[in-house]
A = this chain, B = another copy of it.
Amino acid sequence: MKFLHTADWHVGRKLHGYDLSTEQADALRKLEKIAIDEKVDAIVIAGDIYDRGMPSEDSVRMVNGALKKLNLEDGFPLLAISGNHDSAERLSTGSEWFEATSFYLHTKLERAAEPIEMSGVQFFLMPYFEISAAKNFLGDETLKTADQCVRRIVSLMKERFKAGFKHVLVGHFFAVGSLKSDSETPSEVGGLEAVGIDELECFDYVALGHLHQHRASKSEKVKYSGSLLKYSVSETSDQKGVYVVDTDSETIAYKPLEPLNDVRVVKGLFENLIKPENYRQIPDDDYVAVELEDRVPIIDVMNRLKKYYPRIIELKRVNGRVNHENNGVKNLEKLSEMDLFKTFYKDTVGEDPDEEQCKMMEQALQDVRNKGENQ
């Protein structure tokens, strides 16, 4: 059979304050088109459908709409699990009814080892779980790591393996050997959750969610589909998309999802960044992380850059700022007011103030002092 593997939709996610619902809705339409064009037999969604356990009504509307379209209108069987960003309880609403139309949504560990059989494939849907839930389900208080838990759950699955079937695991965890990006919360990809890839050898394919880069796993058949969109600057060079897996021909193809508005890095000196031949290459609606090469201060730099790149999400000085210590200015607080002025002027304008300017400044300082005494 042929199935599409996606994960980490994170519906409701914002990018440095920008709402991404337009881009998400667009990506979901493109995902649907791939499923139709590729004539897949099913769609696997490996967790983190929502970005939050308590999604907004708009997010609920988008997810319900997408699932309804894919399952009820287009007729694709769906195989889905909850991720660590989803509320298992909220996401499971309706799940018992969904199965009438081959929409399998597992949010509880109790059902992980129940295979779902479809066109010669046994799918095992293992939702994201906490160690405490696994201890409880397996009745073993000695379990300490996700690796131990998964090993035990996989052994339960193996007992249900049928000869002549291919076996696919759908999971949401950090497989050891994977790379990670910034948009997964760091505390969530720690050691506790690391699961050894060797334990997953018994499966013909492992459809994972959790890490957002589809190249995160180096394994041939343990794959992260990657997130729906670029959700952090560290993902700018990542291509987002979905896997299309054919279990008969044993081929795995990555199909790109071109974003409506991209997330990209622009790098250069301020004077170059504001040149038409440079900024005109970047669509106004793209999200831009600016890597500024200048070292000198630039007044109101963010607002000035936003005229050319309206959706700046980050501004970094990649070469650092002019180092005051090297200019011989070690203790700003010890400088006289006039010396402070001269230092500031030079930092900002790039040269020393002339005599006339110094006189004006001295007069101004004198006026302020007099006013202060006459109050």
Residues of A within 8 A of B (CB): 53-54, 57, 60-61, 64, 68, 72, 87, 89-90, 92-98, 100-101, 103
In the bound complex, CA of A15 to CA of B98 (Å): 35
Contact of A57 among B60, B87, B101 (CB under 8 A): B87
Contact of A89 among B61, B95, B101 (CB under 8 A): B61
Report the nearest B residue to A54, measured CB to CB. B54
**Contact across chains for A101 and B97 when beta carbons are under 8 A apart:** yes
Determine the chain B residues whose CB is within 8 A of the CB of A64 once the complex forms.
89, 92-94
**Contact across chains for A60 and B101 when beta carbons are under 8 A apart:** no
Decide if the interface of chain A is mainly helix, strand, loop or mixed: helix
Query: Which residue of A57, A94, A100 has the most chain B CB atoms within 10 A of its CB atom?
Result: A94
In the bound complex, CA of A100 to CA of B98 (Å): 9
In the bound complex, CA of A68 to CA of B95 (Å): 10
Contact of A90 among B60, B96, B103 (CB under 8 A): B60
Determine the chain B residues whose CB is within 8 A of the CB of A68 once the complex forms.
96
Contact of A60 among B61, B93, B96, B100 (CB under 8 A): B93
Determine the chain B residues whose CB is within 8 A of the CB of A92 once the complex forms.
64
Report the nearest B residue to A72, measured CB to CB. B96
In the bound complex, CA of A64 to CA of B93 (Å): 6
Determine the chain B residues whose CB is within 8 A of the CB of A89 once the complex forms.
57, 60-61, 64
**Contact across chains for B98 and A101 when beta carbons are under 8 A apart:** no
In the bound complex, CA of A112 to CA of B57 (Å): 21
**Contact across chains for A93 and B96 when beta carbons are under 8 A apart:** no
Determine the chain B residues whose CB is within 8 A of the CB of A101 once the complex forms.
97, 100
Determine the chain B residues whose CB is within 8 A of the CB of A98 once the complex forms.
94, 97
In the bound complex, CA of A20 to CA of B94 (Å): 24
Report the nearest B residue to A93, measured CB to CB. B93
Closest Cβ of chain B: how far from A150's Cβ, in Å? 25
Determine the chain B residues whose CB is within 8 A of the CB of A90 once the complex forms.
57, 60
**Contact across chains for B97 and A72 when beta carbons are under 8 A apart:** yes
The 7 closest A-B pairs by CB, nearest first: A94-B94, A57-B89, A97-B97, A100-B100, A93-B93, A60-B89, A97-B98
